[in-house]
């Protein structure tokens, strides 16, 4: 039942992640543009240049706010990572549990001794 829950959560988060790839790309591009506009704004000497870059920066900022569903996509990617980590943890703990159980090891050794 635990595997089914992990599979369901992973499937839903994968669908959400795939549906928000477009806004994630747009958000990333607009943030990169906003960074470069800000750097040019700090370098600008004239007041007209600063006003022009400020207007362009405001427009790009509005474009990045428009791509806010990308934050949901990042959350879905994080949930998908947690599901992957938990899924592999279950496999690892089962094998470690089997190896650390003294009765299982005794049974293996006893069967090996019987064959010889």
- Per-residue pLDDT tens digits for 49-102: 999 999 999 999 998 888 888 889 999 999 999 998 988 876 666 555 556 666
Q: Which of 83, 89, 91 is nearest to 12 (CA)?
A: 83
What is the pLDDT at residue 99? 61
CA distances from residue 59 to 32, 40, 54 in whole angstroms, order as listed: 14, 15, 9
Domain ranges of the chain: 2-115
Average pLDDT, the chain: 85
> Could you tell me the pLDDT band of residue 46, with boundaries at 50, 70 and 90?
very high
pTM of the predicted model as reported, rounded to 2 decimal places:
0.62
CB 24 within 8 A of CB 73: yes
Q: What 8-state DSSP symbol labels residue 88?
A: H
Q: Helices 47-66 and 21-43: crossing angle, nearest 10°? A: 170
**pLDDT attached to residue 109:** 74
């Amino acid at each position: 039942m635990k595997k089914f829950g992990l599979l369901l959560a992973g499937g839903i988060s994968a669908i959400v992640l795939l549906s928000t790839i477009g806004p994630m790309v747009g958000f990333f591009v607009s943030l990169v543009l906003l960074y470069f506009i800000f750097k040019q704004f700090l370098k600008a000497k004239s007041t007209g240049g600063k006003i022009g870059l400020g207007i362009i920066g405001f427009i790009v900022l509005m474009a990045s706010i428009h791509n806010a569903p990308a934050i949901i996509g990042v959350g879905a990617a994080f949930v998908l990572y947690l599901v992957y980590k938990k899924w592999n943890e279950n496999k690892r703990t089962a094998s470690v549990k089997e190896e650390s159980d003294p009765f299982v090891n005794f049974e293996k050794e006893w069967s090996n001794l019987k064959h010889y």
